[in-house]
Amino acid sequence: MKSPAERQTVASAEDATLNLPRRKALLALGALGALGVAVAGQARGAGMGGMAGMPGMGGMAGMDMGQSQPTAAAPGVGVFSRALLIPAELHGQPRDGVLHYALRMAPGRSMLVDGLQTATWGYNGAVLGPTLRVPRGKAVQIDLNNALDQSTTLHWHGAHVPGEMDGGPQSLIAPGGQRRLHFTLQQPAGSLWYHPHPDTRTGPHVYAGLGGLFLVDDPADQHLGLPQQYGVDDIPLILQDRRLAADGRLLYMTRMMDRMGMKGDRFLVNGREQPYWNAPAQWVRLRLLNAANARVFNLAFADGRVFHVVATDAGLLPRPVPVHSLLLAPSERAEILVDLRGDQGKRLVLRSDSGAVVPDLSAMPMDADSFDHQGFDLLEFRVGPPAGTPARLPTRMVDLPVLRADAPVRRFTLQGMSGNMMGGAMGGMEGMGSMRSGSQAMGVSEVGPGGMSLGVGGKKLFSINHHHMDMARIDQRLRLGSTEIWEVANQGHMAHPFHYHSTSFQILSRNGSPPPAHEAGWKDTVLVRRGETVRLIAHFNQQAGDAHPFMFHCHILEHEDNGMMGQFTVT
């Protein structure tokens, strides 16, 4: 068996030799693919299809609001020219009974797309970050170091930590600044993640490349027989989309419809476009993270095979749930088991069957692009011989406690962008190219990596309970130790992934019915479809005062950055 490092070396050598002829063919295919998409959009224009068919909107799909920036050709069909990268694991260094970790945010250069250099930001590297392994019940110390040219924060998404350690918008780290965190996690094993959370700038900071996985490990779960050889049969898949200029620069908020949520036409897994994975012919565990700013993935295998959901956002399910497809909204995670025992020598493709779900998720043409209406490939499995100790599919995993509320139901309503707001939003886009003065004079950069726009966050476009985010206002005050039901009703025309900090919840109901079995576990993000009302229950045992409150917000980052967030204390 090769170590992950050796496998990576082999992959690089293959890249160097394989890619040239393949790339040329794909560029040609890409141009054809783009043409096909445009035609399909027009054909569907009479219904809910692409904007190309909307009166007066025909030219908008290709319209850049700032500089004229031709984008690189973008096939939805898999490229599969380079091997999947597995993020390095970061285990804490034990010292004085505490596990020590260090993360440094810094600029770098990455080859997200084969053959193109892209300026990006990353943690301890050029893009994304290492996979932190944090054992349950162990004291940790984490040193953060900001080597970027602007302020940011680092939030532990899904972690049960106090407000002061949570990395919310109040916890800014200045350029060149540092911050030391201490906490001990007392929560089930789960696949959490970390990402920036500055007020009005979370979207561009994540888009620039910042984000990584953060696994809570619990020895109690290691006897279940689940695949747990990291990088061999237990692999993280960080799913994202990006739009690039022809010269490789990241394009952010350059089109009118980006305001509804930034979506790209290049599909990345662990920071590489549509890679392949040399998978072993055995049960494999995929830790899926939707780290896209706005796009919902409807994951499925091209051959339609069944796979088994074993974990939701923040913990294992009572038992595996077989499915043919799995909806994953921004910031949701799932762990799935796939049986590759009979597939040696075969190639399989993991893709998003987006078109199957778009009617549930959006009603307006601006909400969905051609990839939402059709689908796209993500990762090719090249199944080779088994490796290491084969694992199995467990029959039972964990017991979930039944929570009982001890406070009145707390109600939230979600409002999307209305027709008249749209006009305002578009007005806002026009000024984008010229808003580069202000804080630049104070030595704080107003652009992202490679000159990437930071967008126009801070507009009052999306709201919760008809309030827009205000750092100076506490929206909800909770009692420490309480167990509360939160009811979230979507009054808008598109689906919103609702997330709150400091705890994990269980979904009690969707429109009055129990959630599907694959959602009946610990979660921290829930997709609320248009017209839907969900009820969630959680225990609040982490403290947060007015200086460092917790956030509740939509996890479409451009919605969060433009008002769809609120603050709560737990005291």
The torsion angles phi and psi of 254, rounded to 5 degrees, stand at: -110, -5
Residue by residue, DSSP assigns 319-331 as: EEEEESEEEE-TT
Cβ atoms 532, 490 nearer than 8 A: yes
User: Nearer to Cu ion by C-beta: 101 or 297?
Assistant: 297
> CA 557, CA 259: separation in Å to the nearest integer?
10
Q: How far is the CB of 234 from Cu ion (least distance, A)?
A: 32
Residue 557 CB contacts under 8 Å (≥ 6 apart), including other chains: 202, 203, 206, 207, 261, 262, 293, 294, 330
| Site string (405-424) toward Cu ion, x via CB under 5 A | --------------------
Instruction: Output the CA–CA distances (angstroms, integers) from residue 471 to 171, 190, 443, 500, 551, in the order listed.
Output: 12, 30, 23, 16, 10
User: Nearer to Cu ion by C-beta: 197 or 539?
Assistant: 197
Paired tokens of 523: 């979660």
> CA 46, CA 502: separation in Å to the nearest integer?
45
Among the residue ranges 76-84, 384-392, 429-437, 557-565, the one whose residues contact Cu ion (CB under 5 A):
557-565
| Site string (504-543) toward Cu ion, x via CB under 5 A | ----------------------------------------
Q: How far is the CB of 553 from Cu ion (least distance, A)?
A: 8
Q: How far is the CB of 557 from Cu ion (least distance, A)?
A: 9
- The site that binds Cu ion (CB under 5 A) totals a number of residues, namely 4
Q: How far is the CB of 528 from Cu ion (least distance, A)?
A: 9
User: Nearer to Cu ion by C-beta: 468 or 496?
Assistant: 496
User: Nearer to Cu ion by C-beta: 197 or 548?
Assistant: 197
Residue by residue, DSSP assigns 354-400 as: GGGTHHHHB-SGGG--HHHHS-EEEEEEEEES--SS-----S---PP
DSSP code of residue 88: P
Q: How many CB atoms lie within 10 A of CB 42?
A: 15
> CA 174, CA 150: separation in Å to the nearest integer?
6
User: Nearer to Cu ion by C-beta: 351 or 496?
Assistant: 496
User: Nearer to Cu ion by C-beta: 37 or 262?
Assistant: 262
Q: How far is the CB of 488 from Cu ion (least distance, A)?
A: 11
Among the residue ranges 33-41, 275-283, 289-297, 554-562, the one whose residues contact Cu ion (CB under 5 A):
554-562
Residue 159 CB contacts under 8 Å (≥ 6 apart), including other chains: 166, 183, 185, 187, 192, 214, 216
User: Nearer to Cu ion by C-beta: 280 or 416?
Assistant: 416
User: Nearer to Cu ion by C-beta: 343 or 367?
Assistant: 367
Cβ atoms 487, 538 nearer than 8 A: no
Q: How far is the CB of 292 from Cu ion (least distance, A)?
A: 13
Nearest residue to Cu ion on Cβ basis: 554
User: Nearer to Cu ion by C-beta: 392 or 460?
Assistant: 460
Using rule CB under 5 A, residue 554 touches Cu ion: yes
> CA 418, CA 300: separation in Å to the nearest integer?
33
Q: Do the bridges between strand 98-110 and strand 550-554 make them parallel or antiparallel, or are there none, so unpaired?
A: unpaired
Using rule CB under 5 A, residue 559 touches Cu ion: yes
Cβ atoms 357, 298 nearer than 8 A: yes
> CA 450, CA 119: separation in Å to the nearest integer?
5
Residue 20 CB contacts under 8 Å (≥ 6 apart), including other chains: none
Q: How far is the CB of 355 from Cu ion (least distance, A)?
A: 21
> CA 103, CA 124: separation in Å to the nearest integer?
6
User: Nearer to Cu ion by C-beta: 157 or 559?
Assistant: 559
Q: How far is the CB of 357 from Cu ion (least distance, A)?
A: 16
DSSP 3-state percent helix, strand, coil across the chain (nearest 5)? 20, 35, 45
> CA 529, CA 534: separation in Å to the nearest integer?
9
Q: How far is the CB of 235 from Cu ion (least distance, A)?
A: 29
User: Nearer to Cu ion by C-beta: 308 or 559?
Assistant: 559
Site for Cu ion in 476-505 (CB under 5 A): 496
Q: How far is the CB of 496 from Cu ion (least distance, A)?
A: 3
User: Nearer to Cu ion by C-beta: 286 or 565?
Assistant: 565
Q: How far is the CB of 559 from Cu ion (least distance, A)?
A: 3
Among the residue ranges 2-10, 101-109, 516-524, 556-564, the one whose residues contact Cu ion (CB under 5 A):
556-564
The torsion angles phi and psi of 536, rounded to 5 degrees, stand at: -125, 145
Q: How many CB atoms lie within 10 A of CB 24?
A: 10
Name beta bridge partners: 308: 322, 337
User: Nearer to Cu ion by C-beta: 353 or 558?
Assistant: 558
Using rule CB under 5 A, residue 468 touches Cu ion: no
> CA 222, CA 225: separation in Å to the nearest integer?
7
Q: How far is the CB of 535 from Cu ion (least distance, A)?
A: 19
User: Nearer to Cu ion by C-beta: 389 or 491?
Assistant: 491
Q: How far is the CB of 492 from Cu ion (least distance, A)?
A: 8
CA 126 to chain centre: 18
Among the residue ranges 252-260, 323-331, 468-476, 547-555, the one whose residues contact Cu ion (CB under 5 A):
547-555
Q: How far is the CB of 411 from Cu ion (least distance, A)?
A: 18
> CA 389, CA 408: separation in Å to the nearest integer?
50
- Applying CB under 5 A, which residues contact Cu ion? 496, 554, 556, 559
